[in-house]
Structure 1
Amino acid sequence: MQNYTFEDMKQIDRSQLGNMVPLELFRTIRLIGLNQGLPLGGKSTTATIGRKIGHSLPVQSIEELLELFEELKIGIPRIVYRDEQRINIAVDDCFCKGLPTLEEEKMVCDLEGAIMEGALSKLLDRRITVREIKCNVIGDEHCEYEIRL
């Protein structure tokens, strides 16, 4: 079976609707379909999907990964902390920005963190972990990820 690549995803031939789908559709798939529709909020599914996507991205540095996040309109990332063992990346204007704040402490942007994890594990050629530590939907000013190197 032939697998698709990230480059294949750029091949778009929609003469009337173009290359965009509404954010509402993406949110519906993520938050109603995966998060509410799967056991444990779909965490293992989104982690697996995100890592696979991240691993397929054509990036050669963390800076290229951050640029691609913005280019793909995932959000506007910036490094807010960096040392030998850890990097924290804040993502402004994330897909969840503007959603109603949840009363429970349940962050929803694990897919984005898993994408970073897959890309950075491939770049650094070793296992790293990424964990969401802030999220707009629980009232934080931005989404933020802690990357353990």
Structure 2
Amino acid sequence: MLDYTFDDMKLINRDKLGNMVPLELFRTIRLIGLNQGLPMGGRSTTLTIGRKIGENLPVHTVEELLQLFEELRIGIPRILYQEEHKMIVAVDDCFCKGLPTLEEEKLVCDLEGAILEGALTKMMKRRVTVKETKCNVSGHEHCEYEIRM
């Protein structure tokens, strides 16, 4: 079986369409395909996928991870709070920004949190947990993650 790496993902040879796909496609895959199409909103799938992506990112520091988040256009992360075993990270301009606000309190950016979790667990060589606590689709001003190390 072929195992791809993050570096492999940069190898793009699309003469006409280039290296970008519309945000609408990504949203459709995430929110209609996974969230609405799988049991439990696809949560176990997105967590598994996100952690694996995070483990494969070429980052060695929190700063590099946050910078790569922005370079990949996942969102614009910023640390709101940090102590030895806890960090709160806000992500502005997340993929869900601009979607209609849902009536029920819903969190849909678990993939992004799992990416952070996978990368931080690999970096710190110990178990890190990341929990989404705020989301644009619930009317919050940004998506927010509580990280426990």
- For the aligned pair, the TM-score class normalised by the smaller chain equals over 0.9
**Where do 1:1-149 residues align within 5 Å?**
1-149=1-149
Q: CA RMSD in A?
A: 0.4
SS in structure 2 opposite 1:141? coil
Pairs aligned (count):
149
Deviation at 1:106, TM superposition (A): 1.1
Letter in 2 for 1:129: T
Runs of 4+ in structure 1 deviating by more than 2 angstroms, as ranges, are none
Letter in 1 for 2:87: I
Letter in 2 for 1:67: Q
Deviation at 1:125, TM superposition (A): 0.4
List gaps (5 residues or longer) in structure 1: none
The superposition leaves residues 66-123 of structure 1 with CA deviations (integer Å, 9 ceiling, x where unpaired) of 0000000000000000001100100000000000000011110000000000000000
Q: 1 CA distance for matches of 2:24 and 2:120?
A: 29
Deviation at 1:2, TM superposition (A): 1.9
Q: 1 CA distance for matches of 2:93 and 2:2?
A: 35
Task: State the TM-score, normalizing by the size of structure 2.
Answer: 0.99
Q: 2 CA distance for matches of 1:132 and 1:30?
A: 16
Letter in 2 for 1:4: Y
Residue identity over aligned pairs, in percent, reads 75
Task: State the TM-score, normalizing by the size of structure 1.
Answer: 0.99
